[in-house]
Amino acid sequence: MVSRSYSNLLELATGESPSFGRINRQIPRIVTVAGLISDVDNDPSESVSSEPSSSSTSRDRIIIVANELPIRAHRISGNGGATTNWTFSWDENSLLLQLKDGLGDDDFEVFYVGCLKEDIHPNEQDEVSQILLETFKCVPTFLTQDLYTRYYHGFCKQQLWPLFHYMLPLSPDLGGRFNRPLWQAYVKVNKIFADKIMEVINPEDDFVWIHDYHLMVLPTFLRKRFNRVKLGFFLHSPFPSSEIYRTLPIREELLRALLNSDLIGFHTFDYARHFLSCCSRMFGLTYESKRGYIGIEYYGRTISIKILPVGIHMGQLQSVLSLGKTEEKVSEVIKQFRDRDRIMLLGVDDMDIFKGISLKLLAMEQLLMTHPEWEGKVVLVQIANPARGRGKDVKEVRDEMKATVRRINDTFGRPGYEPIVLIEEPLKFYERIAYYTVAECCLVTAVRDGMNLIPYEYIVSRQGNDKLDKLMGWESSAPKKSMLVLSEFIGCSPSLSGAIRVNPWNIDAVADAMECALEMADAEKQLRHEKHFRYVSTHDVGYWARSFLQDLERTCRDHVRQRCWGIGFGLSFRVVALDLNFRKLAMEHIISTYKRTKSRAILLDYDGTLMPQASIDKGPTSKCLETLDTLCRDKKNTVFIVSAKTRKTLAEWFGPCEKLSIAAEHGYFIRLKQDEEWETSLPVADCCWKQIVQPVMKLYTETTDGSTIEDRETALGWCYEDADPDFGSCQAKELLDHLESVLANEPVTVKSGQSIVEVKPQGVSKGLVAKRLLSAMQDKGTPADFVLCIGDDRSDEDMFKVISSSMAGPSVAPRAEIFACTVGKKPSKAKYYLDDPSEIARLMHGLASVSRPNVPPYPSPS
């Protein structure tokens, strides 16, 4: 299906009716604006198909959004300089273009939204937009130079990027202090991107995939406009630990914006774990892993977490290896090093403060000092790619690097030998590949890096091909070998288990790793290389892109089965998504039903339902007791409090309500009225299992600050609501496994609830109370025609299940009104919800006013 907004934009650009066609696989290398003649031959094989194709409308459309388009723009002057025009070509080194090629044209139609690297004059922007849309399916986002500087070089590079790499602005010289005007520029640019996406999106069908930290608030703008948009976000940088992230003044805005995505991707589990920790500590959100998928429940939506490192484009790299100029450069590098009996170590890094270039140089110096036998034999070639950002820190890194190189070469160099060869001029890709091919070992000593694909490129280059094997003097059938020394703080490190992993700050350890790589036996190098190449070749960029989009499609599958609406203002906006049959309990509806019914069953949980979970004083208020007493005195009502608390506690708290029925310890003990004896719902339990459980719970209490043990007559509970949320949750999972193991042969169940791990007799559940109440009313000849059940956690789901299924049986009146209601908008067996205990209190008061009309009005919420 073609988006109406897309066709409108195209008509606006061309002045003609739109025609849609597949982009031919062979895109022209150069495209011109304003009728300039391209310097590429007019070859029909390089033309763009203009014939409509039915296949283009049957493929999934993906809108890929990133800071920069995968386009190279070149300004051309014509007519003696009187006019200026542009030529455009694909940037083959762009991950976004490689991603598209990895997906293939048969299944996906890809559009791009992003900025151009060049500044386009406003008078030329319409023409540029037209040619990019028609030929490359790219939608350029034009920003003024001042806005782009404040957004990219200001907020992104001076504030977000350092913090995400663990650099706190403890002083003005260490990263950028938070600057609100720069933050406002960041938000403004994200809004401009959203407006551009809205021009081309078909919100019901299209997938949107946003890339990296430059556009972290973009999901909020899109979700606000289209509640059901299919939205994925992948973070290519590290995500810092919660202690670092929470120093951001706009931490909640960024985190809520990310949670407006359907799928959030990270390179490593560490990055995902830090993100989940922030969600837990800041918003109290928990995650679950089901069948290998990690999900966060957020206002009824499930946000999936994807952990998968990006790969390289194998086809592109292998094609570059086959180029004649690559062979020529390899020959040149061989003559420079191997033919002089030099063993080449290689470092390839961007010029920035986190790449650890100076640490690598110091390790090389240490190697030569401690192992003088390598002097004159080993050379470290350091390729320093141009810096992406600006600032004093870049100059300081460059100056330190040059000074260190000069000192080492002066100390250990001699005529015809320099231990360090520094290459600062920008290298073409094939030139870099040539250095990879010849290098015996590749070193990456970054102190923090999101992914870093340099090791992947090195491994594939060392695999080579027949022609390069001949140049290198290798037999084509012989096993290849390579060695990697990798910082443990980079994203690719967990994937390359055969590498020698180092702490880059430990200069001695890095030097020892370099010595180990040089001395290692060829057979061991071959085994490590084979293992790495197998991984890199199967986990390429296409595998990564397809896997991400498959998970995005799976996550968005339930969109059509949900009712969605937005709440919150500005960047606090989020979407509430509920099942089509799940709705808020309307006060007017339930009160009118209450008035006309004659046999009512009311079941109420206590903690988190009648009383807020976080209350320090857990006892009921006088207002609560008065309301319950009024409801109990109505002869048409049977009112049950169903709680995990002990019968002694509940009897003391609800003493004023003489006719209130109480179910204690999840329904094990039941008392129908105050003047009656307590009964048990099951045979009297043998609690000798407590002797096993108590020492285990005591151990976890001693090691988990803020946790306590609740000792009940038939149950034990380990509560951790006052403990550190991350540590408490971790300990609870461990305790659950521990108890299930030691209690395998005992007649008990171990369950995890809201900030509690409980052990109770088998068969005990709140559902038994609901079943018993409905059966008792039926036996008396007054089957319930009104059933209201309210609860807030997993243990209450048993009651919801019983009363909901009772509609199909004889335990209630034929046309009974059933109201199963949970607290808060969350997945539940209940059909209704109320927001919080205060709304439940107002509801109970409203019902009480029907039972006794002279009840004073309930105070309005402030």
pLDDT digit string, tens, across residues 103-157: 877 778 999 999 999 999 999 999 999 999 999 999 999 999 999 999 999 999 9
- How many Cβ atoms are within 10 Å of 399's Cβ, its own excluded? 10
- What b/e string do you get for 362-384 counting C-beta neighbours within 10 Å, with b at 16 or more? bbbbbbbeebeebbbebbbbbbb
User: Which is nearest to 342 in space by CA: 449, 420, 422?
Assistant: 420
Q: How far apart, in Å, are the Cα atoms of 505 and each of 110, 419, 446?
A: 43, 21, 9
- How many Cβ atoms are within 10 Å of 704's Cβ, its own excluded? 21
- What b/e string do you get for 262-284 counting C-beta neighbours within 10 Å, with b at 16 or more? bbbbbbbebbbbbbbbbbbbbee
Q: Indicate the DSSP class of residue 339.
A: G
User: Which is nearest to 306 in space by CA: 239, 229, 227?
Assistant: 239
CB 509, CB 365: distance < 8 Å: no
CB 190, CB 215: distance < 8 Å: yes
Q: What is the amino acid identity at position 254?
A: L
pLDDT of residue 57: 47
- What b/e string do you get for 735-753 counting C-beta neighbours within 10 Å, with b at 16 or more? bbebbeeebeebebbbbeb
d(C-alpha 156, C-alpha 251), whole Å? 14
Packed helices 766-779 and 794-805: angle between N→C axes, nearest 10 degrees: 30
pLDDT of residue 577: 85
3-state secondary structure of 806: helix
Q: Which residues contact 217 (CB under 8 A, 6 or more apart)?
A: 186, 187, 190, 253, 254, 257, 571
pTM equals: 0.78
* Mean pLDDT per 10-residue interval, the chain, length 862 residues: 37 36 34 35 33 49 96 77 75 92 83 94 92 95 95 93 90 77 97 96 94 97 94 96 93 96 96 93 85 88 94 94 95 93 94 93 96 95 86 86 96 94 94 96 95 95 93 88 96 94 97 96 96 96 95 91 87 87 89 94 93 82 94 94 92 93 93 90 83 94 94 92 88 91 89 88 90 92 94 90 87 91 85 92 94 68 49
Which H or E element spans position 482?
none
| HSE-up (13 A, CA, CB side) for residue 452 | 32
Question: Tokens 């993100």 belong to which residue?
Answer: 275
Q: How far apart, in Å, are the Cα atoms of 686 and each of 207, 577, 649, 714, 767?
A: 57, 45, 22, 8, 22
> Residue 840, Cα to own-chain centre: how many angstroms?
34
- What b/e string do you get for 616-640 counting C-beta neighbours within 10 Å, with b at 16 or more? eeeebeeebbbbbbbbbbbeebbbb
d(C-alpha 201, C-alpha 213), whole Å? 22
CB 756, CB 720: distance < 8 Å: yes
